[in-house]
Amino acid sequence: MRKLLVALATLLLAGSVHASTLPYAGALVFQLATLPGITAPGGGLAVVNGTGTGLHLSSALIGGGVLGPATASLPVTSQGTINSVIFTALANAPGSFSGLSSAPGGGPMGLTGTAKICLVFAPCAFANVTIPLTGGFGIGGTQTFPGAVAVTMQHAAWTVGVPTVTIHTANSTITVPTLPAGFVHGPATGGASSAAQPSGVMQLVTVSKTYTSLFGAFPELPLIGIVNLHFVPEPGTLLLLGSGVVGLAVLGRKRRR
C-alpha cells in the first residue's frame, strides 16, 4: 500500500516539497434517500499535499480497498417501485482529490462491488436489477442498465462542497433529504489551513440520482455517499480508533434524522 501511494504521489504531486504520507481512520457511508445508511469502515495511508507551511491541505490520494468491504441491505418503505437495495462487497476504488481548500474542490473516486435493486411487484429473487458499482458512482456521467425494467443512474464526483441533485417526479411520494456538505478541518482551526497533519479531518460528499423505466408515481431516488477521513498520529493508533469509526456512523445517522 505504501509503495502504491508513494508512486501515485510522485505523479500527482511532482515538484512539491510539502507532500507527505499520513495514516488515517475513516468510513464510507451510503444513504438511499432518507433511509438509514450502510457504513464501510477502514483505514490506511493518504498522500497529502500542502501549501505555504505544508499544513494547508490542497490535494490528497487514497488507495483502493481501504474503506470496506461491506455487505448490507437497505429496506425501502413508501418509496414507489423499489422495495430494497442490497449492496455486496462494497468498497472504494483509488481516489484522487484536489482543490480541497474550498468548494467545489474534490475529485473522482469509484467503487467496487454490486448493488441489487429489488422491485415491489415480486420477491427480490425474481424481480431485481443487479448493477455493478464500478465506472460511475463517485466519478461522474450517466449509466443505463437495460432489462425488463431499465435502471438509469446519473453520477457526480466527490466534493468538499454540497452536491446537487434534481428530482423531477412531482407526484412521487419520495422525500428528498437535505444533502450534507463536505469540509476540511484542521485541529487548530475550522478550515483547511492546518488540516494536513495529525487530527485533521476531511469529509467528501457525492450523490447519484437513480430511477427506473416504470411509469406513474415512482420516485427518482438520490443515493448519497459520504467519506470521512480522520488523520491519526501513528499507524498503530488505527487499532484504537475503531470506536471513533462507529461514532462517525452514529453521527451520520443523527444528522439524517
Q: Could you read off the pLDDT of 65-74 as tens digits, one per residue? A: 999 998 887 7
Q: Could you read off the pLDDT of 116-174 as tens digits, one per residue? A: 877 665 566 655 777 888 888 899 999 888 877 788 888 989 999 888 777 665 555 55
Question: Rounded distance, CA 203 to CA 18, Å?
Answer: 21
- pTM for the complete prediction? 0.77
Question: What's the pLDDT score for residue 123?
Answer: 60
Q: Which pLDDT band holds residue 53 (cuts at 50, 70, 90)?
A: low
Which amino acid is present at 28?
Answer: L
Task: Give the C-alpha distances (Å, rounded to integers) separating 47 from 14, 148, 207, 222.
Answer: 12, 45, 25, 31
DSSP per position, 3-19: HHHHHHHHHHSTT-S--
In the chain, domain spans: 2-6+19-256
- The mean of the pLDDT values for the chain is 75
Q: Which three cell numbers mark 121?
A: 411487484
- Of 150, 229, 169, 130, nearest to 33 (Cα)? 169
Q: Which pLDDT band holds residue 80 (cuts at 50, 70, 90)?
A: low
The secondary structure of residue 244, as a DSSP letter, is: H
- Of 223, 227, 252, 226, nearest to 32 (Cα)? 223
Return the higher-pLDDT residue of 78 and 193: 193
Given CA atoms 165, 174, 214, 29 in this order, what sign does their dihedral have?
positive
